């Protein structure tokens, strides 16, 4: 505990990182329940790989990654949503196509323009697996994540009934006058934004763990949508804080540490689910 207090007092950037990772985990978990129930949880993988490819283009063009990755990822989210309703191409196949092609294209770009990057392997690893440490977060990142968290919370509180309806039965929701495509697009766009913000810290290959594991853990114990969402958010925050503490003490990579914390939480809730179901 004394070590943690020392680090937080000495390095304000650790406080910034804690806030950012907690908010990102919270947002991802809130989205995760709807995405899992809609059987579209792997959208996180597809969009994160798209963000990696877009970040590679930004690196080669000497642009700030977020200005390229954000619009590319949002457009990819909308495209995946449209493909999902196309019977000719299954959604899982579309995600696999986008994931593999984006990864290949992104790494190829990094290798074609080595002068734009001080270390190709380092840039690729940080993009795929997240930063090796929690150093590097700025106050501006905290502000962006605060705005993002406010946006996600607003979407879930203000449009809760609509999201609930399109999550469980799109046909019935459409029959009652709900603009299903609008709310599906809203979910996809917000998911894309969360992924772009989280990629540098957690990594493109690990972002889906923030979306799926808290939701799956909560759904092992709670059977109602509202309780699952609340529990998922709590699990995500606890796992993020746990991962950060372990990262500080043991000097482990922050992204994989938080992902492993989520895996451990799922194991605990899986056992609890077995106990409560008897």
Residue 52 pLDDT > 80: no
- Average pLDDT estimate for 170-186: 80
Output 199 or 131, whichever has higher pLDDT. Answer: 199
Question: pLDDT band at 201, cuts 50/70/90?
Answer: low
Question: Residue 257 above 80 pLDDT?
Answer: yes
| Dihedral angle, C-alpha 189, 190, 194, 197, nearest 10 ° | 70
Domains and CATH numbers, the chain: 2-276 (1.10.3470.10)
User: What is the reported pLDDT for 266?
Assistant: 94
% the chain with pLDDT above 90: 12
Other CB atoms within 10 A of residue 177 CB? 6
Q: Can you give the pTM of this predicted structure?
A: 0.81
CB 49 within 8 A of CB 99: yes
List CB contacts of 129: < 8 A, sequence separation 6 or more: 203, 205, 206, 253, 255, 256
The number of residues in the chain equals 278
Task: Report yes or no: 36 and 29 within 8 Å, Cβ to Cβ.
Answer: no
Please report the pLDDT score of residue 211 as a whole number: 86
Residue 267, sorted as left (phi over 0), alpha (psi -120 to 50) or beta, turns out to be alpha
- pLDDT tens profile 80-119: 776 665 555 566 677 777 777 777 787 787 777 765 554 4
- Burial state string for 232-243 with b = 16 or more CB within 10 A and e = fewer than 16: bbebbbbbbbbb
The more confident residue out of 66 and 154 is 154
Position 231 scores a pLDDT of 93
The band of 120, judged by pLDDT with boundaries at 50, 70 and 90, is very low
Rounded Cα distance, 224 and 40, in Å: 19
Mean pLDDT of 15-36: 83
Please determine, for residue 141, whether its predicted confidence score (pLDDT) is greater than 80.
no
């Amino acid at each position: 505990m004394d070590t943690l207090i020392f680090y937080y007092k000495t390095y304000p950037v650790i406080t910034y990182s804690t806030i950012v990772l907690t908010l990102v985990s919270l947002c991802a978990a809130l989205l995760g329940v709807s995405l899992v129930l809609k059987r579209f949880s792997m959208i996180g993988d597809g969009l994160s790989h798209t963000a990696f490819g877009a970040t590679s283009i930004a690196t080669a063009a000497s642009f700030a990654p977020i200005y390229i990755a954000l619009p590319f990822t949002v457009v990819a989210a909308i495209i995946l949503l449209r493909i999902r309703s196309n019977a000719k191409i299954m959604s899982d196949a579309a995600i696999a196509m986008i994931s593999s092609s984006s990864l290949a294209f992104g790494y190829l770009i990094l290798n074609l323009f080595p002068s734009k990057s001080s270390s190709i392997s380092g840039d690729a690893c940080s993009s795929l697996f997240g930063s090796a440490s929690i150093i590097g977060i700025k106050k501006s990142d905290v502000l962006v994540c605060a705005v993002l968290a406010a946006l996600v919370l607003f979407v879930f509180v203000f449009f809760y009934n609509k999201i609930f309806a399109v999550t469980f039965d799109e046909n019935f929701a459409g029959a009652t006058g709900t603009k299903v495509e609008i709310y599906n697009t809203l979910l996809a766009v917000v998911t894309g934004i969360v992924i772009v913000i989280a990629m540098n810290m957690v990594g493109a290959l690990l972002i889906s763990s923030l979306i799926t594991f808290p939701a799956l853990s909560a759904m092992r114990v709670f059977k109602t949508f509202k309780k699952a969402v609340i529990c998922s958010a709590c699990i995500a925050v606890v796992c993020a804080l746990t991962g950060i503490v372990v990262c500080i003490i043991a000097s482990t990579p922050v992204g994989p540490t938080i992902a492993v914390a989520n895996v451990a939480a799922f194991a605990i809730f899986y056992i609890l689910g077995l106990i409560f179901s008897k």
